[in-house]
Structure 1
Amino acid sequence: MSKHRNKFIAVVDKAMTDAEKMAPEELMFSYKGILYPTTVCNPEAFKALESFEARKDDVFLAGYPKSGTNWVGQILTDLVLTSAKHNEEYDSLDDEELEEFPYLEVGDAEKYQRMTNLPSRRVIFTHLRPENLPASIFSNKAKILLLLRNPKDVATSFYHFTNKLAPLPSFKSWDDFFTAFMNGQMPWGSYIDYVSEWNKHADDENIMTITYEELKENRALGVKQISEFFELNLTNEEIQGVVDRSSFQAMKENSEKTHGAFGNVLFRKGGVSDWKSLFTEDHNREMDATFEEHLSETKLGRKLKYGVYCKV
């Protein structure tokens, strides 16, 4: 797995170095009304992404930043690599020269042409909203694992994350961050809008939705369901091996190998309800009202179990 993550470490290290030379106002750019980090994304790549050709057997993970995508992404990658051991293409899947940064929207405009050389199954992550994904993903019915997390913990985790990571803007206070978060002035845009847009695809047969919280409650069941959804045909023993390797503690201890120095920032606590350490009555009132207005009556909104995880 460490070899599989070399590209991840190289891209992040370069982004950290580049960001240290940039003024705060240079860190973000806007594309179609949504902010993205300049050091890892660019408009030319986004334009090229439109013609990306998805394969039916591609394995997609979609999740807003700080929803647990790096954790679940490692689980998904482990499942696919474990399944690949059943066929003779396994060695090519671990070919370092064929690696690309796993997030679809991160990289140069030539990335998508290089990705045509990657063997199946390609494991691809994304923070993008569905309307900004290539149309071929939906027309070719590639399967997507959609990961959601309760919005208060997303905000809390994002606050700690962005203040520790040079390529992202920092905030003087939690209040300043909360205002930006609620107004959608964040990298990859508004989380409320993100869930609202994905809700339009909530009944698509090629999409499986899982929450961070349910995976924390019963990781073994969640890993099994993910494996079955992608038809990976793993034995119970193989699934249990992935479960054992995917505990938060195990991933945190291995984070330097999988994510370099960035691992300490990514794997902070990995818990549920950390939002209680930051949210005041005013913050709760505003978030509760926004959720009630936009998501409470939607299928994905109900999936989040807001009353369980986000009420005092």
Structure 2
Amino acid sequence: MEIDRVVGGVRHPWATSDEILEAMNTFEVRQDDIWVITFPKAGTTWMSEVISCLYHGGDFDKADEIVLNQRFMFLDLARPGADPPHILAAKRPSPRFLKTHLPSHQMAKEINTKKPKIVYVGRNAKDNAVSLFHFHQSLKALRSYDSWEDYYNAFIDGDVHGGSWFDMNLYWWNRRNDDNVLFVKYEDMKKDLGSVVTQVSEFFGWPIPDGKLEEIVQHCSFSSMKENPKTNYKVLSTKSVSSNSSFQFMRKGEVGDWKNYFTVSQSEAVDKLYDTKMKGSDLTFEYEL
């Protein structure tokens, strides 16, 4: 059996079942939901931990009481032996913490009418591509590629998990001025996490207790989260990981790692495609810090 298929122009793993995609047409969104939306491997886990810590007022023991992927209901994937995520989410008390990588035309329809709080994290296309490449090569549930070049061509065509990076980022950039949407760049989190933490706290209206900002920044630093088993999912079943993979859910988190993979011509092609796809938009990303 194929491990994935294309639905509505987007490549999805089989764990993102037709039932899940169809359920998004009628999924009941609540106004007090808290959503993290990203293209795959663009900072979902990082932002989710920031929100968890802010929600609990900097009480890290409370924030990390359970594994992060259980705190935030991932609406895209069904777990073996469990009810589908939309059924489980419907049973959760408010406020619900939800996350998704679904593109705009496949996400929950009521998200546009109920207008819950949404944090979207965007990451530069080149680093995002490299991070997702390693994810594809590591997990059995995702299509693997014979080479970086094969994957690069698929990414350019929008034929990878998540679909088109360009379409998704442009959609949410165009919604950045909606009252219920906060657009955050991964590179800004790397440069000045404290400013982003403050921005997120103000967006939700959750004051940061005196003296807690620096502690939250330290706790939510990439290096700290990588060593935290509640955020860097080292407990993932070996059945999920390819036998030849040294899998790490949080791998490097660097800005500029793309230089170790992209050829000059590939980099220039992405720049040219970006100019075409994002024409008329003032959305820009940093490719090195």
Category of TM-score, reference length = shorter chain: 0.7 to 0.9
Q: Which of 79, 82, 103 is the matching residue for 2:57?
A: 82
Classify 1:231/1:100 alpha carbon distance in 2 versus 1 (closer, same or farther; 3 Å): closer
Structure 1 position 256, deviation (Å) = 6.5
Query: Partner residue of 1:9?
Result: none
SS in 1 for 2:42: coil
Instruction: Tell me which residue corresponds to 1:154.
Output: 128
User: 1:240 Cα deviation (Å)?
Assistant: 3.3
Shift of 1:253: 0.9
SS in 2 for 1:56: coil
Q: 2:77 aligned with 1:106, yes or no? A: yes
* Distance (whole Å) between structure 2 residues aligned to residue 162 and residue 113 of structure 1: 27
Determine the structure 2 residue equivalent to 1:30: 6
Task: Please say if 1:297 is aligned against 2:268.
Answer: no
As a proportion of its length, which structure holds more helix?
Answer: 1
Distance 1:115 1:154 in 2: 28
Structure 2, unpaired ranges of 5+: 237-245
Matches of residues 230-249 of structure 1 in structure 2 within 5 Å?
230-249=204-223
CA distance in 1, matches of 2:183, 2:71: 25
Partner-residue secondary structure (3-state), 1:236: coil
Alpha-carbon distance in structure 2 between the residues aligned to 1:275 and 1:258: 22
Q: Name which of 169, 178, 186 aligns with 2:143.
A: 169
Q: Unaligned stretches of 5+ in structure 1?
A: 1-22
Give me the whole-angstrom Cα distance separating, in 2, the residues matched to 1:74 and 1:188. 22
Larger CA deviation: 114-123 vs 244-253: 114-123
Deviation digits for residues 153-179 of structure 1, max 9, x if unmatched? 011111122112211111111111110
1:194 corresponds to which of 160, 168, 180: 168
Alpha-carbon contact 2:133-2:151 (below 8 Å) kept: yes
Distance 2:114 2:226 in 1: 36
Question: Which TM-score applies when normalising by structure 2?
Answer: 0.85
| 2:106 matches 1:128 | no
Counterpart contact for 1:79–1:239, Cα < 8 Å: no
| Separation of aligned partners in 1, 2:56 and 2:94 | 11
1:168-216 C-alpha deviation (Å, 9 max, x unpaired): 1111111111101001110111111212332342332211111000011
Residues 79 and 232 of structure 1 are in contact (CA less than 8 Å); yes or no, is this contact kept in structure 2?
yes
- In angstroms, what is the RMSD of aligned CA positions? 2.7
State whether residues 232 and 249 of structure 2, in contact with CA within 8 Å, keep that contact through their aligned partners in structure 1. Answer: no
Cα distance between partner residues in 2 of 1:152 and 1:199:
18
Give the conservation status (yes or no) of the 8 Å contact 1:60–1:144.
Answer: yes
Query: Is the CA contact (8 Å cut-off) linking 1:58 and 1:121 kept in structure 2?
Result: yes
Cα distance in structure 2, aligned partners of 1:291 and 1:95: 39
**Correspondence for 1:286:** 269
Determine if the alignment matches structure 1 residue 62 to structure 2 residue 37: yes
Judge conservation of contact 2:36–2:48 (CA < 8 Å) in 1. yes
2:287 aligned partner, one-letter code? Y
Number of positions where the alignment pairs a residue of Structure 1 with one of Structure 2: 274
Which one-letter code corresponds to 1:215 in the other structure?
Answer: M
> Which residue of 101, 109, 119 maps to 1:145?
119
**In the alignment, residue 5 of structure 2 is paired with which amino acid?**
F
Displacement of 1:116: 2.8
**Distance in 2 of aligned mates of 1:227 and 1:310:** 27
CA shift for structure 1 position 221? 1.0
Is it true that 1:47 corresponds to 2:18 in the alignment? no
Structure 1 position 73, deviation (Å):
1.6
Q: Look up the SS of the partner of 1:163 in the other structure.
A: helix
The 3-state SS of whatever aligns with 1:147 is: strand
Q: Which amino acid aligns with 1:64?
A: F
SS at match of 2:98: strand
Deviation at 1:94, TM superposition (A): 6.4
